[in-house]
Structures are given as structure tokens and as C-alpha cells.
Structure 1
Amino acid sequence: MASFTERMLRKEDPSVYEIKDGHLERTLRVRDFIALGVGTIVSTAIFTLPGTVAAQHAGPAVVLSFLGAAVVAGLVAFAYAEMASAMPFAGSAYSWINVIFGEFFGWIAGWALLAEYFIAVAFVGSGLSANFRGLIEPLGLVLPKSLANPLGTNGGVIDLVSLVVILMVAFLLSRGVSEAARVENILVVAKVLAVLLFIVVGLTAIHPRNYVPFIPKYHLNPDGSAFGGWQGIYAGVSMIFLSYIGFDSIAANSAEAKDPSKTMPRGILGSLAIAVVLFVAVAAVLVGMFHYPVYANNAEPVGWALRQSGHGVIAAVIQAIACIGMFTALIGMMMAGSRLIYSFGRDGLLPQWLGQLNQNKLPNHALLAITIVAVIIGSLFPFAFLNQLISAGTLIAFMFVSIGIYGLRKREGQDIKDPDFKMPFYPVMPALAFLGALIVFGGLSNDAKIYAAGWFVFGLIIYFAYGMQHSYLNDNKKD
């Protein structure tokens, strides 16, 4: 009988995951993953966070905040690319860390990512709702407050638009990955064109005086957070980081990739590179159009800035495309989240029915679970609250993946295949990725840290009360 500690540290055999995930069909190509990554990363955040972070923390230097966050995300993305190339399993960080460090640490990493997906789906749904309502209000169509806001927020009962779009995306995914990927590819192209249209039109409305001073003088906001100086830029990095975390959604679907050793690195790194360029450009244009304080508490600053600049028609077009394009982020997040929940069920750490596939080899039980939870979260919590909380759990998972490269290298070419892609500048870059994620985590709001602590206490209770007792490793089950 294994001791308590031995049970926590037992590692899954990677060949077992290959067998278990072999039931999933490998249909996704590089272009599908780039579309999935860009569609997930370039979502609600690009139309909201540049203005919010500029007003709350960084001023025009929000551009530097986006670049700083991109550097850290890029370092972690290299670690993700090697992991996904070597171990193309469903569940991304959860499955990888389970193999490298053992079941308990795999659960911690997976539980951290689960928070991201639950909240991110609600966050994107909330942002889509805000943009959609901003689009239809000029037409005289105004939803009553009870149906426009979450429970207890400004007279709200439920965010109806968010509810409907989450259910629509769940229905699409329930019909299959290939069909969802076709929709994703089309909508991503439309969304990127909308972002480029904003950049081009916005450039004609820039006033150079709005960039001065580029880095405002440092002071504390009424809530105690930093504004201006390097402190404000740093606070902006931590808030913005959620913009780039979508590349995990690519890795979570690696069990459905064609030729994953080549497909995964190209999809992860390619989508992040495209996203960084678009984010920095949008931020630079937005703060140049109007003095940054006007974007405070504005959930749709891109559309607002265009309307105030006399480009109402273009604003309507961009917001319409943006609303449609936000479906791409929901597709990516809900697909990845359902694969993670499937992985927990596959290994017995959550109820077994979550790890079952239907007759079309789709994890629709897991999809149902993430849909229900996301709808509940989106109905109860406001947009401003959600965008503070997504990064915390994800950063913890990113730290695990970064240091996991050291354990992976020792086993590549042995029980784990030698991947076609490897993280450059080893052993320095994995350490830099870990430190970068740790530094960003340190800059998160106290609310986010408290949330993370509470979430992990809840996760530990579930693991010790249920997961450890029902883990398939107890019986060495191989299928």
C-alpha cells in the first residue's frame, strides 16, 4: 500500500495518455490552431483593456505595459511549445505536470487553469454583451437593466446577451471540432480586419498632445493601486497579462492536432506574435485619440472613441464584427476548458462521466459542465470584477510549465519522445519564464490573490476528499 506522500507524487505514464487520448480525432491543422489562438487571444480584451488600463494605471505608457506582458507571455509560450510538441495530450499543463512532477502537482496546475476557463468564458460573454448593447442603443434598442446586468449590479438580474451567446457556442461545439474550426477560421479573419480598420481610421483622429506626458507622474489611486511611473506600468502589465493567455487554449487541444510536434509550436508562437502586434497598435492608437482619463469605467472604449471622432458608421461596423468575432474567443476557451475537465474525468480526479466521449468521440459531458458554470459566474459577477481574476490561476500554471522544462529534458528521448521543437537558450530561458510569471503574479490586485487562495483551498478539499481516492492510478488502469 503506497504511503500518503507516494500517492500524491505518483506520475502518470505518458504512454497511457497516448492510449486514452487516442479516441479523440486528430483533425486540426496549423491554420486551425493559429485561428484558434488569435481568436482566443484577440478577443474582448483588445476592445476593452487598452482604455481601462490607460485610465487606471499607465496613461499613454499602456503601450509599454502591453509590451512587458508580451515578453513574459512569449517566454512562457516557448515552454508551452516544447511541452505540447513532446506531449500532445488533452488538458495541457494538467497532463504535462502530472507526467513530470506527479498527480498532486498536476492537479494544482490543472485546477489553476480551470479557474481561467470558467471565468474567461464569463468574462468574454460579459464583454460581448457590453459591445452588443453599445451597438444597438443608437438604434433605440435598450435592454431593461434587469436583463442587461449581472445579479445585484445596477438593477440587474441576469446578463441575457451573455447567457444566449454562451449557449450558442456550446451548441456549436457539441456538433464537432471540425465544424467549430471552420466557423472559427472565418470569424477570425473578419475580426482581424475589424481591428486593422480601427487602427487605420483611428490614426486619422490622433492628437499628439494626448501622448504627453507619455509616462504620467506616479501617485496612488483612491483604491491604493499605482498610477503612473514604472509602478503604474507594472500594475498595467499584471492587469493586461490576461490578454495573452489564450495560447493555452491551443495546447489544451493538442490531442486533436495533426502532426502535433510541428503543428503545436507553430500554432502557439504564431498566434501570440500576431496578437502582440495588434494589441500594441490598438493601445497606441486609442490613447492618441482621446486623453486617457475618459476611458475610465468604459466597457467598450474602441466603439466610443470612434463615435466621438465622428466615425459612427465605422464604429457600428467594427463593433458588429467585434461582437461576432468574440464568438471565436468563446469557441477557443470553451473548447479548451471542456478538454481540461475531460482530462480530470479521464484520470478519475473528477467524476468519471466527465471523461466520457459520446458516439461522435466528443467530450460533451465536460462541455455541459463548463457551460453551466460559466453561465452562473457570468450571471453573478460584473465585468470589472472578472477581468481582475483571470490571470491569477493561469500564472501559477505557467510557473509550473516553465520549471517543468527541466524535468522534461531529462526524459526526452526516453519514455517521452524527443520533440522537433525545443525551448531555446536552455537552461536560462525556462528560469526567466518562471521569474517573469512570478513577477507578474506579484503585481496582481489583492482581490485576485485572495480569490486565488480561496480557489486553491477549494481545490485541495476536492482533491483529498475525492480525487486522490478515485484516481485511476490507484488501480493502475490503462484505458
Structure 2
Amino acid sequence: MTSTPTSATSAPTAPSVPLRTQLLRRKPVERLVADAGTGAGGQLRRTLGVGHLTTISIGATLGTGIFVVLGEAVPVAGPAVVVSFVLAGVIALLSALSYAELAGMIPAAGSSYSYSYATLGELAAWVCGWCLILEYGVSVAAVAVGWGQYVNELLHATIGVTIPDAWSQPPGAGGYFNVPALVVVVIATLVLLRGVTESARVNTAMVVIKILALLLFCAIAFTAFRAGNLTPLFPLGLAGMSSGAATLFFSYIGFDAASTAGEEARDPQRDLPRAIMLSLGIVTLLYCLVALAAVGAMPWRRFEGTEAALARIVDQAGGGSLVVGLLSLGAVVAIASVVLTVLYGQIRILFAMARDGLVPPVFARVDQRTGVPRTNTLVVGLFVSLLAASIPLGELANATSIGTLFAFALVNVAVLVLRRTRPELPRAFRVPFAPVVPIAGALLCCYAMLSLGASTWVVFVGWMVLGLALYAGYGRRHSRLNAPAPHAVLPPQ
């Protein structure tokens, strides 16, 4: 007798099996792939090619660190912020190689959550998914906070007015409510509700605009470049450079966004690895170029207290109000693109977790007309918009970095596990020099986590405790692995 998958809307009761077995049970790769084409809530549509996938990753990444977090990283690292970008890029590259291998093998919407489910077990998958909620959802809010700074720069350069701090800053940063941050999240939510193809087209246009804006900045900033601004290169020592890299790792969040589109890619085995590596290469090159131009054009101590550093540099370099206005417009578009694509990734992570039963099934229901998880999109958009309007940038950026680093470490471990347990599985892309590269990627992620401050760790631990409580109260009892499935559940090893 053949069993059939339990629908995403079912709520099985946790079986009477040992707790350790339940927490470490794994979801086979074959079942992950099969579930990508099924689901009582509806299926996502495969409409994206390598170009769209690449711009999704670029859109989710490019702009976050340069337009927003650079002003916070330079006072920590000094001119060595350029080296910090390189170090953060190396950490990201090692993890990107692991993402590329797994994305080609497991073309599911869950990204590293799904990879952890197949290799490390249900508890690790939940923890990874919970970190991804921190990574994607909170990073959207953090980026949206910085968006308001550039809206003010644009308004000042064009019509000579700005939004008062009371309504452009969150509580704790001199304001009552960050209205621009709320607005940009609402706009992104409305775009996503129209469908993935329409969203991808809008994002592609925005990616082109922000690349042009960054090239314009470099052209102006290099005219004011002073070699003396780069000496001493390490005024705050190697510890400052490392701390800057940990903070700037936030700016690489997003290269993995293409992997969340695994169920909407036309040829995921071929295109996902290409999109991940291509997007990271483009982003790293631009980051290093812009960072070098920025610290060469303005002494590093003058970056303190600004979240719109590039606009200030252009203004002081004599670019004039027109160039400042164009750069601010590029930044507004760039950050809006990050909000759009990272919000997209957050929604797909919750979609995958809901289909597995670990979060309520409402997040897995797909609108038949648009092919979009509509309720999921609305709930996430509302939550993130309120978070963005009420929390200062710095704490959001650091909390996002630690959640991302933890998830990336798990992805590197997942590559090692699958190489040992499932060597026969076809791999469109293979991490070179394995197991050295995945091990180095995992260790560097752990090192960067340890470079973050105590307050960030307190937030992270609190977030994990909350997540484990939710898993114990809901996810463990509603997991689809409690029910029979067409592929046997692998026992813990």
C-alpha cells in the first residue's frame, strides 16, 4: 500500500518516539525536491532565468553596506575598512561556494533551512530557519532605517526641505517613528504581491540604477582622493579591522537570496550556482572600489555619526547639489531594491517552513492568480514595517550579522555531511578543495561571530531561546515528518 504526503495544512501529533530521535530526524533530499512540486497550499511558478536570479542576489546585497553601514564601520576600523571589506568578502565567498553546491542539488525555497534539514536534522533546521528570519526579516528593517537618511538627502538637494527627525528617526535615535522606513517596506510589499516576474523586472531596473550611482560616486570621490587619508592603515589595530569585517559582513547578506528562489527558477541546477557566484563577484568588486574612494576622499574620523556617508563625501568633494541629488536618488533606489529582494527571501523561507509544518500553514498558501503566498507576504510586510519604524539601525545590523554567520556556518557543515552521506547525488557545482574550503568557511563564520559585541550576543541568545520555545510548543508537534511519507525519514546518525 502506497502512502501519500500529508498536506501542509494538516497538524499531526508528535509521535511517541525518543526526543533525541525526533530532534535529529532528517528530511531526505529526494523528499525535499519532491515537495518543491507539491503542496496543498499551491505551488510557486518556475519563471526566473539566470539573469533574474543574479539581479535578485545583487539587489538583496548591493547597497546595504556601502550606502548605510559604511558610516558605522569606518569609525571602528579606520582606513583598514577596505581590508575589512576584503575579509568579509572572503568569508562570504567560502560560504557562497557551499551555497552554490547545495542550491544546485536541492532546488527548494528553503535555502539553508532546507539544506540543514537534509543533513543535520529537524532541530538544526529549525534553528537555521529561525536565524534566517533574523537575517532576512531584521535586515530588511535595518536597511529601511537607512533609507530615510537618503530620502532626506534627496529632498534637501532637490527642494531644500527635509523630514523632521521626529518622523524620520526611530525611538532612541531622536525621533518618535521612522515614517520613511515604514513607507519603503509597504511599497516593497505591494510590488511583491503583484507576482514574482513583475517583482524581478522592477528589481532588475533598480539594480542597474544603483550600479550607475556607485560608479558616479567613484568618479567624483577619486578627484578628492588623498593618499594621506589612508595612513596609518590600521589606526585601531587588527582588532578594529576584524570588528569592522564582522560589522560589514552585514553588507554581504543577500548573495544567498537566489537560493530562496529555488522553486521559481526555470533551470535551478544550472542557474542557481551561476547566479550566486556571479552576484558575489560583482558586489565585492564594487564594495572595495567604493570603500577605497570613500576613505581616500574623507578622513576616517569624520565618518562618525552619519548613515549617509557617500552623499556627504560627494558634497565635500565639490560634486555640487546636482550630483548629490543623483547619488541620493541612486541610494534611495538601491536601498529600496534591497528591501524588495530580501523581503522576498524572508517570505520564501517561511513558505518552506510552513510546508514542513514547523510554522502555521497559512504561510504556505499560494494565490492561484498571482502565484504569490499572499497572506505570508502581508503578514511579513506588516511585521517588518513596524520593526523598521521603531528600532535604531546599529542594533539591527549587528543582530542580523550574527544570525547570518550562524546560518552560513551550518551551510558549510551541510556540504561536508552530504559529501560523506550522499556522495552519489548529482552535483551541478562542487566546492573546490573540499573539505578544506567548507571547514575554513565554517571556522571563519565562527571567528566573525566572536568579534561581535556582548550586547549582540545577548540579543542572539534571547532570539534563540524564543525560537526554541516556539519549536517546542508548535513546530515539533506539527512537523510533517510525524506523518508517513513517500520517502523514509532518515534516522539520526
> TM > 0.5 between the two?
yes
SS at match of 1:204: helix
Alignment of 1:219-230 (within 5 A): 228-230=236-238
Q: Give 1:398's aligned residue.
A: 408
Q: Give 1:16's aligned residue.
A: 31
Alignment of 1:3-402 (within 5 A): 3-22=18-37, 23-55=43-75, 57-138=76-157, 139-154=159-174, 156-216=175-235, 228-312=236-320, 313-359=322-368, 360-402=370-412
Structure 2 letter corresponding to 1:333: V
Contact 1:75/1:433 (<8 A) preserved: yes
Contact 1:202/1:286 (<8 A) preserved: yes
Identity over aligned pairs, percent: 32
Q: Cα 1:418–1:311, aligned 2, differ >3 Å: closer, same or farther? A: same
Q: Cα 1:270–1:199, aligned 2, differ >3 Å: closer, same or farther? A: same
Rounded Cα–Cα distance in structure 2 between residues aligned with 1:48 and 1:375:
18
Rounded Cα–Cα distance in structure 1 between residues aligned with 2:56 and 2:475:
31
Rounded Cα–Cα distance in structure 1 between residues aligned with 2:465 and 2:394:
24
Rounded Cα–Cα distance in structure 2 between residues aligned with 1:116 and 1:478:
33
| Deviations, residues 107-134 of structure 1 (Å, cap 9, x unaligned) | 0111111101121110111111111112
Contact 1:44/1:128 (<8 A) preserved: no
Q: Cα 1:41–1:19, aligned 2, differ >3 Å: closer, same or farther? A: same
Contact 2:65/2:252 (<8 A) preserved: no
Deviation at 1:478, TM superposition (A): 6.3
Contact 1:50/1:282 (<8 A) preserved: no
Rounded Cα–Cα distance in structure 1 between residues aligned with 2:144 and 2:478:
34
Structure 1 letter corresponding to 2:209: A
Rounded Cα–Cα distance in structure 1 between residues aligned with 2:258 and 2:383:
21
Moved more, 131-140 or 340-349: 131-140
Structure 2 letter corresponding to 1:365: T
Structure 1 letter corresponding to 2:29: P
Rounded Cα–Cα distance in structure 2 between residues aligned with 1:48 and 1:321:
13
| Deviations, residues 134-154 of structure 1 (Å, cap 9, x unaligned) | 221243322233321113431
SS at match of 1:437: helix
Deviation at 1:343, TM superposition (A): 1.2
Deviation at 1:50, TM superposition (A): 2.8
1:420 paired with 2:448, answer: no
| Deviations, residues 168-194 of structure 1 (Å, cap 9, x unaligned) | 110111111100111111110111011
Deviation at 1:329, TM superposition (A): 0.7
Contact 1:51/1:283 (<8 A) preserved: no
Contact 1:389/1:447 (<8 A) preserved: no
Structure 2 letter corresponding to 1:71: V
Rounded Cα–Cα distance in structure 1 between residues aligned with 2:192 and 2:36:
18
SS at match of 1:357: coil
Rounded Cα–Cα distance in structure 2 between residues aligned with 1:70 and 1:143:
35
Contact 1:51/1:292 (<8 A) preserved: no
Structure 1 letter corresponding to 2:474: Y
Rounded Cα–Cα distance in structure 2 between residues aligned with 1:298 and 1:311:
18
Rounded Cα–Cα distance in structure 2 between residues aligned with 1:238 and 1:325:
22
Rounded Cα–Cα distance in structure 2 between residues aligned with 1:475 and 1:52:
49
1:475 paired with 2:489, answer: no
Structure 2 letter corresponding to 1:5: R
Contact 2:351/2:373 (<8 A) preserved: yes
Deviation at 1:457, TM superposition (A): 0.2
SS at match of 1:419: coil
Rounded Cα–Cα distance in structure 2 between residues aligned with 1:361 and 1:131:
33
C-alpha RMSD of the superposition? 1.5
Q: Cα 1:176–1:411, aligned 2, differ >3 Å: closer, same or farther? A: farther
TM-score with structure 2 length normalisation?
0.91
Deviation at 1:347, TM superposition (A): 0.9
| Deviations, residues 316-364 of structure 1 (Å, cap 9, x unaligned) | 1011122012221112101100000111111111111111111133212
Rounded Cα–Cα distance in structure 1 between residues aligned with 2:317 and 2:226:
11
Rounded Cα–Cα distance in structure 2 between residues aligned with 1:287 and 1:13:
49
Contact 2:116/2:125 (<8 A) preserved: yes
| Deviations, residues 338-393 of structure 1 (Å, cap 9, x unaligned) | 00011111111111111111113321222122212211211221122222221111
**Unaligned residue ranges in structure 1 (runs of 5+):** 217-227
| Deviations, residues 38-57 of structure 1 (Å, cap 9, x unaligned) | 111112321233332122x2
SS at match of 2:92: helix
Deviation at 1:245, TM superposition (A): 1.9
Rounded Cα–Cα distance in structure 2 between residues aligned with 1:310 and 1:419:
52
